[in-house]
Amino acid sequence: MTGFEAAVLTIITASTPLLMAAIGELVVERSGVLNLGVEGMMVMGAVCGFLASYYTGSLILGILASMMAGVLMSLLFGLLTQTFVTNQMATGLALTILCLGLSGLIGEPLTGEPGLKLSAISIPYLTDIPYVGKILFGQDILVYVSIALVFAVQYMLFKSRMGLIIRAVGDSHSSAHALGYSVIKVRYYCIMFGGACAGLAGGYLSLVYTPQWIEDMTAGRGWIALALVVFATWMPRRILLGAYLFGTVWIMGLYVQGAGIAIPSQVLSALPYVVTIVALVIISRNATLTKLNTPTCLGQSFVPDR
């Protein structure tokens, strides 16, 4: 394997959890809900996926457990924000704090223990193509799932009736309600989808990226996923570009450290977040583009009047 192949493979692995979490949150926000609990759902997915695979010896059960953990945490968020109509931003922050503490508690006995790792697939002849074989045909199955999710969400949102309903709920929940659509039910489904994607992103970290459990192993990736949705101006295909851009920045910092370049490690660790802030500032300067795609009812609670 050449140095180029190794670098690209590492970037893809680092970008995949960002892509999964961001595409799920995009659907949630398209329905008019702002869930700041992505980081918390990711870390719960990471610990539950690791524990399930460790005790059962099954990676499939680990993946399913990570998704279920994300869904359950998202249902808690949905119950509070959609049924009890609590503030969405405050509830999302509280969910993240809860999940960070809870994951540390239930994962403490196995902290640092080696776990199962999801292997990359191998397609005869295709994987052996020089330079691009391993990059295109030698990834683990979840990498292909994450890319497929982007195009599936793109099609669903803009080419299907379901997507039209979701966007209608996000742009004008009162009008959607007047037309007979259940705003709360639509938002619940979207919240659950976002939770499943965030949980799977966390499971990817503990089953592929670093096959073990370490407390707070998400390391702020959930917040970057939230920023990616804004960076992509709520358009699914731009999520793909943004996730790989931020994954490249993340990994390049590690390569710079490994090359022995005299840059403080704290600066390199902060680099992905600095790039996130710069990207958001650049995007915010184009007010027309941002306003065009931003769901009008984003973050607004809905209470049916009849």
Q: Can you give the residue ranges of every domain in the chain?
A: 3-293
Q: Which region among 8-17, 69-78, 289-298 has the lowest average model confidence (pLDDT)?
A: 289-298
Q: Which has the minimum average pLDDT: 129-133, 188-192, 226-230?
A: 129-133
Lowest mean pLDDT among 33-42, 47-56, 138-147, 283-292: 283-292
pLDDT for 306 beyond 60: no
C-alpha distance from residue 96 to each of 75, 215, 227 (Å): 14, 14, 16
Q: Which residues contact 142 (CB under 8 A, 6 or more apart)?
A: 16, 20, 63, 118, 200, 204, 208
pTM, full prediction? 0.93
303: how many CB neighbours lie within 10 A of its CB?
A: 10
Tokens 């199955």 belong to which residue?
141
How confident is residue 1, by pLDDT bands cut at 50, 70 and 90? Answer: low
Two tokens, residue 154: 């793109």
Chain mean pLDDT for the chain: 90
Q: Determine if residue 234 is left, alpha or beta; phi over 0 gives left, psi from -120 to 50 gives alpha, anything else beta.
A: left
Report the CATH number of the 3-293 domain. Answer: 1.10.3470
